[in-house]
């Protein structure tokens, strides 16, 4: 008899990570059920609309969540829902806490009640480390968030580890560092840079206002990182994993490489706006992904330079299409 087709639920399927994960699971033969909010933009998954099942759901409604899991019967749940842009969490800390922390707890409780055999992935974040006391950070680094987004992610992380240790669920956290792609929102610094470069290259703008060029991040490609998510749920036993490149680059590096892609000198176009400059980090956020490399066999396939080039090329094409 043929092997039964596996079903996966992806909350937040319309986001950057959700769209890449849906593609990966479809390639592996899964039935994919994605959840969205009523206000979600579906642009990132337009090309998948006839291949996935979409459900509109309120993750804070335990009844709705339970009914979904009972109806769908997933073997895997990937919880990617939540606000992903750190600055807005200061303006709406309650919403960040509800969607990110309470939503995760609601999903975990529903999975435990409906089918304890479900495997659960929680999208954790390097922001749980915040003002880290060590660099690089690993799975053993204690959480020390410094903003409402990090606090909410830390709460969801704790709820997931508690479900694993106390309820026996196969529940894991992927502690992902910054990961980008052409599908990244324009509010993020990476897309701000590559979209700005495209506009300048096409004569639509002349300058790109930026904050501190010395800020450092551990940047990787989102398509690589969703592969790590899937690998975590294929293991014999559940564990949390840091997913990162282990290398940092400055905003200056990203600007230089992006402008070089279109044959321009970034110093002729980038203007530092002091209003956008933030206080420097006390400790670098850079991940130690040795456990993921050792136990999952995971390594990033796309280099930082290739990532920036990919994003610039996509924004050039997009800007040309917009006239």
Active-site annotation, residues = 125, 127, 149
Token pair 């501190």 is found at 212
For 241, which DSSP code? E
Report the alpha-carbon distance of residue 23 to residue 26 in Å, rounded.
5
Beta bridge partners of 208: 270
* Number of CB atoms found within 10 A of residue 205's CB: 15
| All residues at 6 or more sequence positions from 65 whose CB lies less than 8 Å from its CB, including other chains | 57, 59, 106, 107, 110
- Using N-to-C axis directions, what is the helix angle for 222-232 and 16-27, rounded to 10°? 60
Closest by CA position to 169, among listed 101, 114, 123, 112 = 112
For 60, which DSSP code? T
Burial of 234 (0-12, 13-18, 19+ CB in 10 A): exposed
Token pair 């990570």 is found at 17
């Amino acid at each position: 008899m043929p092997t039964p087709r596996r079903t996966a639920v992806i909350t937040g399927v319309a986001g950057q990570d959700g769209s890449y994960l849906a593609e990966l699971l479809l390639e592996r033969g899964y039935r994919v059920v994605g959840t969205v909010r009523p206000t979600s933009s579906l642009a990132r998954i337009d090309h998948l609309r006839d291949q996935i099942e979409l459900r509109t759901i309120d993750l804070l409604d335990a009844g709705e969540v339970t009914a979904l899991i009972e109806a769908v019967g997933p073997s895997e749940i990937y919880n990617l829902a939540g606000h992903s842009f750190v600055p807005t969490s200061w303006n709406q800390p309650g919403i960040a806490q509800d969607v990110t922390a309470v939503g995760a707890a609601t999903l975990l409780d529903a999975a435990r009640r409906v089918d304890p055999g479900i495997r659960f992935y929680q999208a954790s974040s390097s922001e749980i480390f915040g003002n880290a006391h060590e660099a690089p950070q690993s799975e053993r680094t204690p959480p020390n968030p410094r903003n409402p987004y990090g606090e909410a992610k830390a709460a969801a992380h704790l709820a997931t580890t508690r479900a694993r240790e106390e309820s026996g669920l196969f529940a894991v956290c992927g502690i992902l560092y910054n990961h980008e792609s052409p599908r990244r929102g324009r509010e993020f610094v990476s897309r701000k840079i590559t979209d700005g470069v495209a506009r300048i290259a096409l004569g639509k703008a002349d300058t790109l206002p930026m904050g501190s060029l010395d800020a450092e991040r551990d940047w990787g490609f989102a398509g690589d990182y969703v592969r790590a998510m899937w690998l975590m749920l294929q293991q014999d036993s559940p564990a949390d994993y840091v997913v990162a490149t282990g290398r940092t680059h400055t905003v200056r590096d990203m600007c230089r490489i992006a402008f070089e892609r279109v044959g321009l000198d970034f110093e002729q176009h980038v203007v530092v706006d002091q209003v956008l400059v933030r206080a420097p980090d006390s400790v670098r956020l850079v991940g130690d992904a040795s456990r993921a490399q050792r136990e999952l066999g995971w390594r990033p396939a796309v280099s930082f330079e290739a990532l920036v080039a990919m994003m610039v090329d996509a924004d050039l094409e997009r800007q040309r299409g917009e006239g």
